[in-house]
Amino acid sequence: MNDNECYLTEIYSAIQGEGLLVGARQIFIRFNICDLRCAWCDTPESLVKTRYCSVEVDAGKREFESILNPIDIQHISSYISRLNPALHHSISFTGGEPLIQYQAFNKLITAIRSVTDIPLFLETGGHKPDALNKVINHFDFISMDFKLPSSAKAGNYFVEHKEFFICALDFNKNLTIKIVVTSDTDMNELADSIEMVKNVSGKYENKPVIFLQPVSNINGIFPPKPEEILVMQTKLLDIYPNIRTIPQVHKLIGQR
């Protein structure tokens, strides 16, 4: 893997179903490879390098062609162009974990900018602050996950998450934080994460919005009960006022 190519899972047009831009039309560039194994992962095909990337031929028509990985960055602009960028609010870099392949971002974004100047949106696990620091100037929106050990069951990343959102706030980026909650979510862990955001963001004018996202049923994992979600948010609003609760809307409307 070098900075002239990327391992991707898919490139397609769809409706953003999570967080601040929910409902917005986006072009999604889904990267291969993730170093986490979250219990609720709904894109297992993106955890490792795949032989092929599925590229949508016409925006929203759901006709795909298979492109051999890794993909030459210079070819990606043509795939973006045929999806009619002007129809879209922004381009989402998602995964997998996009920041694993951050070395390719400079050339990739130059190629994208040759065909469109719509905003760029980074969706990330929020645990690679060093990589973020190297590419942050490229992005208009950043959505980071805060992985709670009790819910994600992928380890403890409180330190990395703190460094990550400090970096994003230092650059005055439009940052949002997503926390997936399940029936296993530990309330003390959740409160600690909110306290951390509150304490760190206190000196910044542009404070992040936190989105609680009840997990979609997957792998035998279930969301909290409706009344539990209300209690959860009530307790957290006493700590930090910028908290919203939104499920994965794209799944409710049958989108990818």
Residue pLDDT, tens place only, 139-156: 999 999 999 999 999 999
DSSP character at residue 221: B
pLDDT-based confidence at residue 1 (cuts at 50, 70, 90): low
CA-to-CA dists, residue 42 to 45, 176, 179, 180, angstroms: 9, 21, 15, 13
Query: What is the distance between the alpha carbons of residues 163 and 36, in angstroms, rounded to a whole number?
Result: 18
pLDDT at 79 over 80: yes
Mean pLDDT for all residues in the chain: 95
Query: What is the mean predicted confidence (pLDDT) over 53-63?
Result: 96
Query: What is the distance between the alpha carbons of residues 253 and 234, in angstroms, rounded to a whole number?
Result: 28
Query: What is the distance between the alpha carbons of residues 160 and 152, in angstroms, rounded to a whole number?
Result: 15
**pTM, two decimal places:** 0.96
Complete DSSP assignment for 128-183: -HHHHHHHGGG-SEEEEE---HHHH-S---HHHHHHHHHHHHHTT-EEEEEEEE-T
Domains of the chain and CATH, by start: 5-252 (3.20.20.70)
Residue 198: what residue type?
Answer: K
Closest of 3, 25, 23 to residue 14, by C-alpha: 25
